[in-house]
Amino acid sequence: MSTVPISTKAPVRVHIRWMIRRDMPEVLAIEHTSFDFPWCEEEFLRVLRQRNCIGMVAELGEQVVGFMIYELHKNKLHVLNFATHPEYRRQGIGRQMMSKLVAKLSSHRRTKIVLHVRETNLAGQLFYRAVGFKAVEVVREHFADTGEDGYLLQYLFDESIVEEPVAIDHMGNALEN
């Protein structure tokens, strides 16, 4: 374990891909080191067997260093579980995973991402706020394991960040619309 302060860690680039069965031991290890009330393997498998649920992992070399599980709905994505390995936090991995999710939004179909975060999970709340989420509701006793309240957070698709395609003439010059 390094003694370098967390804030000086350099950002790392990860490969984000679909979660596969052999990722489960690493995903479970991240889950158990990240949460006081972690999901068990059966919970992961139950959720991932649903047609509208997708699991993705962030891979650094051959090591899984983060994961996310989300549901596809008609007009939104619902994040069910999201974590980065404790030794790799504050290095941009969570941001990269969220960027991958945001890239799945569009003005024509899915326009928002929603998730619940525990009232006591300040680090999670700060992370989600930093990547553009806003609290929209307090959900009383949302977490069944403890009866803890949660915040419903929402990220809204922003059309202004999508670049309009530019028409190019045969000489490579941009044409005005």
Domain residue spans of the chain = 10-158
pLDDT in tens, 29-72: 999 999 999 999 999 999 999 999 999 999 999 999 999 999 99
Q: Whats the size of the chain, residue-wise?
A: 177
Which CATH superfamily is 10-158 part of?
A: Gcn5-related N-acetyltransferase (GNAT) (3.40.630.30)
**Residue 16 · residue 96 · CB < 8 Å:** yes
For the full predicted model, state whether its pTM sits above 0.85.
no
**HSE (side-chain half, CA atoms, 13 Å) at 31:** 19
Distance from first CA to last CA of the chain, Å, rounded? 56
pLDDT-above-90 percentage for the chain: 76
pLDDT at 147 > cutoff 60: yes
Strands (DSSP E) contained in the chain are 15-18, 53-60, 63-72, 76-84, 112-118, 134-143, 148-156
Kindly tell me if the per-residue pLDDT of 116 is higher than 70.
Answer: yes
Amino acid 173: pLDDT: 53
Please list the alpha-helical segments (H only) found in the chain: 24-34, 41-48, 93-102, 122-130
The pLDDT, as a whole number, for residue 165 is 47
